[in-house]
Structure 1
Amino acid sequence: MRAIDVMTTSVIYATPEMNIREAAGLLAEHSISAAPVVDVDGNLVGIVSEGDLLHRSEIGTGARRRSWWLQFLSSTRELAREYVKEHAQTVKDVMTTDVMTVYEDTPLGEVAELLERHRIKRVPVLKNGKVTGIVSRANLVRALASIEPAAAPLVTPDDAKLREAVLAAMAGERWGLARENVIVADGVVHLWGSITSDEESKALCIAAQSVPGVKEVVSHLAYPAPFPAM
């Protein structure tokens, strides 16, 4: 799936010259946490979010007064940036200008990685330099919930083929099992061997469960026995 398949297309925009109160009203009225900022030609120039409007002098949410030693340690650039966020009156002065973007044909895997890596909640989607949509974390969750479960195979693969498929699902993973530790009998996969964490055990079971035709996964995985005390 690509960004265009899940993105929200009814995008609410802000403008650079919009005042802060109007921007806050825009987010509140449409129940959104951020809005792309576009210029008169429709080009993306930034994004304004709840975080940009969080610390404001009008409502007493400005940054707390720093102690003298924190004032001394903070750079004048940092102190000036805080002042602008608290007192500026137009969107262009508080918006985030370094905006992460994707394209309509960007695979969802890349979108998810971008959101996670930069710790952001949404990303504008561009086509020919113009914003055509927004993909948020919520869009990705809804896409997952909408996927129809895979149909059960009409013919259950025999145990030998199932074993090869389970081994292939683990191939290339450092936590994968050796061939002799995967046994399949009547469609039931038995996993044997040593593990170093519960997460490793869970990953192995999920890899086996993901193979079409597997009826059940039985884990015999265990932590290595401790060495006896001397």
Structure 2
Amino acid sequence: MATLQNVTARDFMSANLVSFSADMDVLTAIQLLLENGCSAGPVFDRLGNLVGILSEKDCIQVALNAGYHGEWGGKVSQFMSTSVITVDADDSILDVARRFVGSPFKLYPVVGDNRVIGHITRSHVLRAIDSMRGKYPV
């Protein structure tokens, strides 16, 4: 019988990543976030290593810099969060849900075979819960 404990991050993650390079212009990154309706995306270095996350919250700093210092833009690396917490593709949705409840993050990169293969959001977890409605005992 399928339960939320048996459903994994891989089952509900999005493999369509909006990602950034650390040396990308942050204004271009903001445009990509907006065009794709994303709240955040992983940041990779030139070798493809995950080095950060750029979130809407990080990008708001761009507006503050412009308002207070007259400085528009800069590199993604100047604004990204470098404390990256990932989720394993085989983690259960319940484990992912616990992480979301205990943190301010809205998105986690999903890792499989030591590389980022997608991302999972709070909405993905809610979709997993909704998909199981009526399929397991309450």
The match for 1:40 is 46
Q: Which amino acid aligns with 1:25?
A: Q
The match for 1:130 is 115
Unaligned runs of 5+ in 2: 1-6
The match for 1:112 is 97
The match for 2:3 is none
How many residues matched? 129
Deviation of 1:148 after TM superposition, in Å, equals 4.8
For the aligned residues, what is the CA RMSD? 2.1
Q: Does 1:19 align with 2:25?
A: yes
The match for 2:10 is 4
Q: Does 1:98 align with 2:83?
A: yes
Task: Provide closer, same or farther for how the CA distance between residues 150 and 118 of structure 1 changes in structure 2, counting only shifts above 3 A.
Answer: closer
Identity of paired residues, percent? 33
The runs of at least 4 aligned residues of structure 1 exceeding 4 Å deviation read none
CA distance in 2, matches of 1:128, 1:92: 25
TM-score (norm 2): 0.84
TM-score (norm 1): 0.52
Contact 2:13-2:118 at 8 Å conserved across structures? yes
The match for 2:37 is 31
Task: Provide closer, same or farther for how the CA distance between residues 47 and 5 of structure 1 changes in structure 2, counting only shifts above 3 A.
Answer: same
Q: Which amino acid aligns with 2:60?
A: L
Which of these residues, 99, 124, 149, is aligned with residue 134 of structure 2?
149
Contact 2:27-2:73 at 8 Å conserved across structures? no
Max radius of gyration: which structure? 1
Deviation digits for residues 43-85 of structure 1, max 9, x if unmatched? 2110001101113233x3x5xxxxxxxxxxxxxxxxxxxx8xx
Task: Provide closer, same or farther for how the CA distance between residues 114 and 150 of structure 1 changes in structure 2, counting only shifts above 3 A.
Answer: closer
The match for 1:89 is 74
The match for 1:139 is 124
Task: Provide closer, same or farther for how the CA distance between residues 150 and 17 of structure 1 changes in structure 2, counting only shifts above 3 A.
Answer: closer
Unaligned runs of 5+ in 1: 63-82, 152-208, 211-230
